[in-house]
Amino acid sequence: MHEMALCEGIRGIIQDQARAQNFSRVRRLRLEIGRFAGVQKEALAFAFDVVMRGSEAEGAELEMLDLPGRAVCYDCEAEVEIDDRFAPCPRCGGGKLMPTGGSEMRILDMEVT
């Protein structure tokens, strides 16, 4: 389950920021997760609760925000949202798409005390 490793990385970021910003508790953490990031949200929520035990984020609310898949169509030169990496362009129906977004996962913000 790579979600456990993702949460360990998040814990490291939280600990670094707690030292740098002088906070002791995370009440809420919001993550942006792209459609193509390969993250199982249920597994991530479970791993978050386990990995954050004993840290500044123990008991914190985890909010996961979906980011759409994005691509540039070489046929019509539009930047479009896509639901599947292999989907045709929703604007022109063309098949020459270069994905440009949707594989990211990042911390959007944290509510801290």
Q: Say yes or no to pLDDT of 10 above 90.
A: yes
Instruction: Give the number of other CB atoms < 10 A from CB of residue 65.
Output: 9
**Contact by Cβ (8 Å): 96, 29:** no
Rounded to whole angstroms, how far apart are CA atoms 82 and 79?
10
Q: Say yes or no to pLDDT of 24 above 70.
A: yes
Q: Could you tell me which residues come within 8 angstroms of residue 26 by beta carbon, excluding any fewer than 6 positions away? A: 14, 18, 56, 57, 60, 110, 111, 112
Q: What is the mean predicted confidence (pLDDT) over 9-16?
A: 98
| CATH class for the region spanning 2-112 | alpha beta
Q: Could you tell me which residues come within 8 angstroms of residue 53 by beta carbon, excluding any fewer than 6 positions away? A: none
Evaluate if pTM is beyond 0.85: yes
Q: What is the mean predicted confidence (pLDDT) over 76-97?
A: 95
What pLDDT, on a 0 to 100 scale, did the predictor assign at position 55? 97
Q: What is the mean predicted confidence (pLDDT) over 40-69?
A: 98
Q: Say yes or no to pLDDT of 72 above 80.
A: yes
Q: What is the mean predicted confidence (pLDDT) over 60-73?
A: 97
